[in-house]
Amino acid sequence: MYKAIFDDNIVNLLNDEYKDKREYLKANNDHFNCPICKEKVRLRWAEKAIRAPHFYHKSISECIYHDSESPEHRDGKINLFNYFLANLQHKTEIIDVEHYLPETNQIADIYIKFINGTQWVVEYQRSNIPSEVLIERRSKYKSLGIQDIWILGENVVTENGFLECSVLNIGQTLVSETSFGKGSLVTYNPLSNEVIVYRGL
């Protein structure tokens, strides 16, 4: 959870403007609210941080915006966000992380709105969610006219030899209708920073 409301503005901890403001933000730790449910959230930012600074709900909450991701998912999402920010900023109006879509009550890992009005969401998916959940999420994006792009974790595809691989259910569901061409999947390993494109699956 990298975003919170402070003084009626959104603080996005992944933006460069906040990278040197640890002391200022920590001093205001009682004044942050969740941008979705508006409940109180607090900042976790150790002086010698092991993981990226982030917010968390002060009390137990049923809000959909919460911090329950694996370290690999968090790292992958941050890396992909920074990649798109560095390479597409000149073509876009918005590049946002953990972007809330109130019309469908969804939070996209990364949301991109181009100058010409085209909208993308980029989802970094490592967990093997049920097919019906994936199909519903994709259907909601489609209802908003948003192109959804799914990049899978390296854990979803296991290579069993030079020409063979096994694919978890999430990948098998996506491979029939992917943004990278029919029968294709893209995986990303945040530890090695390696991207692999599988075709002809």
Q: Decide which of 57, 83, 99 is a domain's last residue.
A: 57
pTM to 2 decimal places = 0.89
Looking at the structure, tell me whether residues 53 and 104 fall in a common domain.
no
Beta strand spans in the chain (E): 3-6, 9-12, 32-33, 40-44, 54-57, 92-101, 106-114, 119-125, 147-153, 157-159, 165-167, 185-189, 194-198
Looking at the structure, tell me whether residues 90 and 129 fall in a common domain.
yes
Give the pLDDT of residue 12. 94
Looking at the structure, tell me whether residues 109 and 139 fall in a common domain.
yes
Give the pLDDT of residue 199. 84
Looking at the structure, tell me whether residues 48 and 86 fall in a common domain.
no
Looking at the structure, tell me whether residues 109 and 20 fall in a common domain.
no
Greatest alpha-carbon pair distance for the chain in Å reads: 56
Which residues are paired to 123 by β-bridges? 150
- The reply to whether 157 falls in a domain is yes
Sign of CA dihedral 51, 74, 196, 147: negative
Looking at the structure, tell me whether residues 37 and 90 fall in a common domain.
no
Looking at the structure, tell me whether residues 120 and 156 fall in a common domain.
yes
* C-alpha–C-alpha distance, residues 90 and 84, integer Å: 10
* Domain CATH code at residue 115: 3.40.1350
Looking at the structure, tell me whether residues 19 and 75 fall in a common domain.
no
Looking at the structure, tell me whether residues 182 and 96 fall in a common domain.
yes
* C-alpha–C-alpha distance, residues 199 and 187, integer Å: 12
- The reply to whether 64 falls in a domain is no
- The reply to whether 63 falls in a domain is no
Alpha carbon of 11 to those of 30, 50, 54, 109: distances in Å?
14, 21, 11, 16
Task: Give the total number of structural domains in the chain.
Answer: 2
pLDDT averaged over 10-residue windows placed end to end, the chain, 201 residues? 94 90 93 95 86 88 85 94 95 96 96 98 95 95 96 93 85 77 88 91 73
Looking at the structure, tell me whether residues 188 and 133 fall in a common domain.
yes
Looking at the structure, tell me whether residues 183 and 125 fall in a common domain.
yes
Which range marks the domain in which residue 164 is found? 71-198
Backbone phi, psi, residue 50, to 5°: -85, -35
Looking at the structure, tell me whether residues 75 and 51 fall in a common domain.
no
